[in-house]
Amino acid sequence: MAPIAMRPVNEPAAFPDGYAVRPERKNTYKIAQIGADGIGPEVINAGVQVVHAVAKKVGMFKVDFTELDWSSDRYKKSGSYVPADYLDILKQHDAIFFGAVGAPDVPDHISLWGLRLAICQPYMYANVRRTKVLPGTTSPLSNLKPGDLDWCIIRENSEGEYAGHGGRSHRGLEHEIGTEVTIFTRTGIRRIARYAFQVAQSRPRKHLTYVTKSNAMRNGMVLWDEVIKEVAKEFPDVTMDSMLVDAMTVRMTLDPQSLDTILATNLHADILSDLAAALAGSIGIAPTANIDPSRTMPSMFEPIHGSAFDITGMGISNPVGTFWTACEMLDWLGEHEASKILMKAVEQTCADGIKTRDLGGKADTQEVTDAVIERIRAL
Ligand code: NAI
Ligand code: MG
C-alpha cells in the first residue's frame, strides 16, 4: 500500500476528532484480534461482542475479526511472540484490537518489546489517551462529577526515553554500566506536535498544554520546546501553555479543570496517563489508541490496563476500558455514529449500577457485556 500524503497541517480539521488523514468508509472492516495474555482475551472477547452488536444496530457495515494467537504462550512454545512476516499480516487489516501482554514467568521487558512495541513502535507514533469520569464511577477527587476530567493526552510513542537505545557492559562487575539513551529528533517532535495541535483544534476548548523537563534536561527537551513553539505558529486558533512534568502532577490533581489536550514525551505521558486514569476512578475503564496518522499501517487500540494475573480466569475483569477502546477504533475507522451509540450504552450501563467489583459493583464480565448489548438494541 502506498503511503497516503499528510493533509496540509494548517487546513482546519475536516472531521470532528482531528485525525490527520481521512478514513475510507467500507462495507466490511477487517480487524486483527490479539487478546494475548491474562485477562486480555477475556476483555477483547467482550469487546468483539459489543462491536458486532453496534454494527448490526447501525446496519451500514460489518466487522470481520481475525483472531491471532500472538502471546506469551506462543513465545514459550516457539521462542517468538510474532511470526517473521507479522507486519505484512497486520497490513491486511484496517485496525488492531489488542488485549494486554505480560506473563508471570516471562520478564516484562521481553514481553513488552516482543509484542506490543514490536507492533506499535515502527509506525504508530501517536498514542492517544482520553479520560473522563464516567457515570457510576467515583473520582478520588471529591469535587468531580461525571463528565469532568475530559482530557485527551497525546503521548509521543516512538522515540524519547523508550527509543530502545543503550546497552550494558562490564556485566556482573562492581562498575557495571547500563545506559538508556533518550532520543529526540526534530522530525519526531514536529509530527507529534502537529498531531497534538490538530486534536486540540478539533476540541471545543482549543487549548494545548505541553509537558517538558527542559530545566534539568538541557538538550533534547530544549529542542522539544523549540520545535513545539515553531509548530504552534501553524495553529493560531489554539491557545497553548507549558508545564514541567513534576508541576504537572500537582496541576492535574489540584486544578484539573484547567486542562484539556495534553502533549508529553513517551515516558512522561506514560506516567501522567496512569495518574489520569486513577483520578478518573479506575484503571479498568481507560482506553488507548496507538495511531499512525498517515494510515500507512493499521492503528492499534487497547485498554490501558495490563494482563492482571491476580484476576485472570475468574471472569470478573472490567470490560469497560475495552468498550471505550472499541469506540476509539470505530471513530478512527470513520464510524462515528456507531462509536457514539456504543459510548452511550456503556455510560447508561455504568449509570444503572451494572459494574464489576473494581468499581464497587457485583456484576461479572459477561453480565456487563450483556447489559451493554441490551442497551445498544434499545437505543
Ligand atoms: P495490571 O493493569 O495488569 O493490574 C493492576 C491492578 O489493576 C491489578 O490489581 C488488576 O487486577 C487490576 N485491573 C487491571 N485491569 C483490570 C480490569 N479490566 N478489571 C478489573 N481490575 C483490573 O498491571 P500490573 O499488575 O502492573 O501488570 C501485570 C502485567 O501486565 C505485567 O506483566 C505488565 O508488564 C503487563 N502490562 C501490560 C500492559 C499492556 O499490555 N499494554 C500495560 C500494563 C501492564
Ligand atoms: Mg503505562
Which stretches of the chain score pLDDT less than 50? Answer: 1-18
What pTM was computed for the model?
Answer: 0.91
pLDDT confidence of residue 19 = 55
- Residue at 361: amino acid letter: G
CATH number of 139-164+184-280: 3.40.50
Choose the residue to mutate in 101, 113, 307 for probing ligand 1, maximizing ligand atoms within 8 Å of C-beta: 307
pLDDT at 313: 95
Beta carbons within 10 angstroms of residue 201's beta carbon: 18
DSSP-assigned states of every residue in 21-74: SPPPP-SEEEEEEEEESTTHHHHHHHHHHHHHHHHHHH-S-EEEEEE---SHHH
pLDDT recorded at residue 145? 84
Q: Where are the domains of the chain?
A: 21-123+291-379, 139-164+184-280
Residues enclosing ligand 1, CB less than 6 A?
Answer: 39, 43, 100-102, 108, 116, 283-284, 302, 305-311, 317-318, 321, 356, 358
- Are residues 200 and 267 in contact, defined by beta-carbon separation less than 8 angstroms? no
Report pLDDT digits (tens) over 216-271. 899 999 999 999 999 999 999 999 999 999 999 999 999 999 999 999 999 999 99
**Cell numbers given for 89:** 499480516
338 C-alpha to ligand 2 centroid (Å): 28
162 catalytically annotated: yes
Question: What's domain 21-123+291-379's superfamily in CATH?
Answer: Isopropylmalate Dehydrogenase (3.40.718.10)
